[in-house]
Amino acid sequence: METGMSALAARLHLKHLRLIAAIAEQGQLSVAADLLGMTQPAASRTLAEAEDRVGAALFERHPKGMLVTDIGESLARRARNILDELNDASAEVDRLRSGLGGVVRIGAVTGAAVGYVAPAIRHLRRSAPEVELHVEVSTSDTLMAGLLSLRHDMILSRVPVGMSPGALTLRRARGEQVSIVANIAHPGFARPPGLADLADNDWVIQGPGSPIRRAMEEAFLARGAPLPRNVINTSSLLMVLALLQGPEAVTPVSQEVAALLTAGHASLAVLPLQDRITVEPYSLITLRDRRLSPAAARCRDLLADLVAAG
């Protein structure tokens, strides 16, 4: 057997709720009818139908207007709450359709996060402030796993070695240039060093197999220099900052990250290295067959424009 509330919910329609709320607010059937774009006879029939379905009078008719009954006041209050929720839902649907709201999940390697994702977020915040953004900064292998498992809408990374890119859409970015950041007390600021001159320094660097690590090792080997022996493996920028307090520590990072580190810390600067070191480019990557939400598509297009501009 239906309860009174569920039975009432089944009997009343939105047209009834809109009219009840409007009459309670305006106090006049004719004014409420005009507000809802109804004729007065149609409004009278709709109100009579609502009262019949409720089984009680909702308003008392007086020459000067309509006085709401206790039952009518209770129902009008709940009707207004329902209508407000529906209006909010409609507005939210419009925002989602237009890409002005929703959730976007981005993954990026460190240099891309600083160089592309951060500017894209600033732009998106101005045009669509209600979009909820999630950004993960990690290695290409981890990011690709997140993209394939649909944890990310898009990533800025490299395609892992051995993986076929057939299921992916790629927009290639420019190659990263590596900068060596050190404490301003480092002796290399007195005379521009070559890589071989830094072999005995304390190197704070991402773990084996990372693109910057590979680029550095290849650069040492290409110059016939011994690989650094004193290596601290970390991908944490906080740990990098802590370790760069020493005058013998150096860290290789992308140009974008180097600019961020040195701008925020007066004790750090980019060493005037004699050698130029570059890392293979990363790409803006999405799944070829995945349809992005309007908000995610808007963010992808922003990133694609930034990547194309280089």
8 A C-beta contact, residue 195 and residue 276: no
Residue limits of CATH 1.10.10.10 in the chain:
4-97
Short-list 138, 162, 165, 163, CA closest to 152 = 138
Which is higher by pLDDT, 118 or 85? 118
Short-list 59, 76, 79, CA closest to 68 = 59
What is the rounded CA–CA span in Å between residue 201 and residue 214? 18
8 A C-beta contact, residue 250 and residue 201: yes
Short-list 188, 156, 197, CA closest to 174 = 156
pLDDT above 50 for 2: no
The CATH number of the structural domain formed by 4-97 is 1.10.10.10
Residues 259-300: tens digit of each pLDDT: 989 998 999 999 998 888 888 889 999 999 888 888 888 899
What is the rounded CA–CA span in Å between residue 100 and residue 93? 10
Classify residue 167 by its DSSP letter. T
Query: What is the residue whose two structure tokens read 């101005």?
Result: 126
Residue limits of CATH 3.40.190.10 in the chain:
101-174+281-309, 177-278
Choices 3.40.190.10, 3.30.420.40, 3.40.366.10, 3.20.20.70: CATH for 177-278 = 3.40.190.10
pLDDT above 50 for 1: no
The pTM (predicted TM-score) of the whole model is 0.63
CB atoms within 10 A of CB 188: 19
Residues 23-53: tens digit of each pLDDT: 988 999 999 999 899 999 999 999 999 999 9
Domain 101-174+281-309 belongs in CATH node 3.40.50.410:
no
pLDDT score at 306:
92
